[in-house]
Amino acid sequence: MQNVLQQLIRLQELDTRLDALIEKLGDLPETVKTLEIQIRNEQEQNAIRRTSIEENAALISSNSVKVEDLKTKITKYKEQLFLVTTNREYDALTSEIEFNEQGIKDAEDQILQSEEENNRMNEAFGKTEKNLEDMAQRLEETRGSLAETQKATEEEKQQLEDTRKTLIALIPRNFMSVYQRVRKARNGLAVVPLMRDACSGCHNRVIPQKRVDIYKKNQVITCDYCGRFLFAADDSEEDE
């Protein structure tokens, strides 16, 4: 049992150090992820804008052709007006001219609308492109810092992980599962020393019988309150 406790203490030391190494990376990994998502979203937005801009441009172009066609027709009708002999023919041509004039007006309105839309869209597109440049730069910098920090800690991390692997192979499964559960639930700390007769994890007093057992070191004791494994720290005297 003494052996298991020593192993659990050692495991906690390794995990605490590994946590510290991960902590060292800070929010760099998260920042990289967030920036990547933001960049993808903005790129998608601009791809949509680009399609709309192209569609509007096509609409402007087809409406311009339409205006020219209608103008030609109107000119032709106006010439024919001089040749008509009956009121009926005159009225028919006049209403045809009016109809085509309305067509020109509609097409021109549409052109104006498409142009306004494209002005807005181009402005947004440009802003987003500028924003994308900034974000890409920030992403590159953050990735650089992350890689640098990772490189600095890589060797130590690898050593710790290797040692950890060897160690957990020795620890009985039931203790490992308690360790993992408590560590997850208790902020990464599953093995703590007894300090001034209390669990140094949750600061609750440990009952005398348990304290005796902890000092005897012949069984693995857990805190009644937080479930952490308890051990007698060398520097913690039973000062009662």
Residues at the interface with Zn ion (CB under 5 A): 199, 201-202, 223, 225-226
| Residue whose CB is less far from Zn ion, 6 or 204 | 204
| Shortest reach from residue 204's CB to Zn ion, in Å | 5
| Residue whose CB is less far from Zn ion, 130 or 181 | 181
CA distances from 198 to 175, 186, 229, 230 (A): 22, 16, 12, 10
| Residue whose CB is less far from Zn ion, 49 or 228 | 228
| Residue whose CB is less far from Zn ion, 125 or 229 | 229
How many CB atoms sit inside 10 A of residue 148's CB?
Answer: 11
> With DSSP H G I counted as helix, E B as strand and the rest as coil, what are the percentages for the chain, rounded to 5?
75, 5, 20
CA atoms within 13 A on the CB side of 71: 9
Tokens linked to 87: 């009121």
| Shortest reach from residue 208's CB to Zn ion, in Å | 16
> In whole angstroms, what is the distance from residue 150 CA to residue 169 CA?
27
> In whole angstroms, what is the distance from residue 97 CA to residue 3 CA?
103
| Shortest reach from residue 218's CB to Zn ion, in Å | 21
| Residue whose CB is less far from Zn ion, 137 or 204 | 204
How many CB atoms sit inside 10 A of residue 3's CB?
Answer: 10
| Shortest reach from residue 206's CB to Zn ion, in Å | 8
Tokens linked to 151: 């490189």
Amino acid letter for position 110: Q
| Shortest reach from residue 26's CB to Zn ion, in Å | 29
| Residue whose CB is less far from Zn ion, 93 or 221 | 221
Tokens linked to 235: 């520097």
| Shortest reach from residue 178's CB to Zn ion, in Å | 13
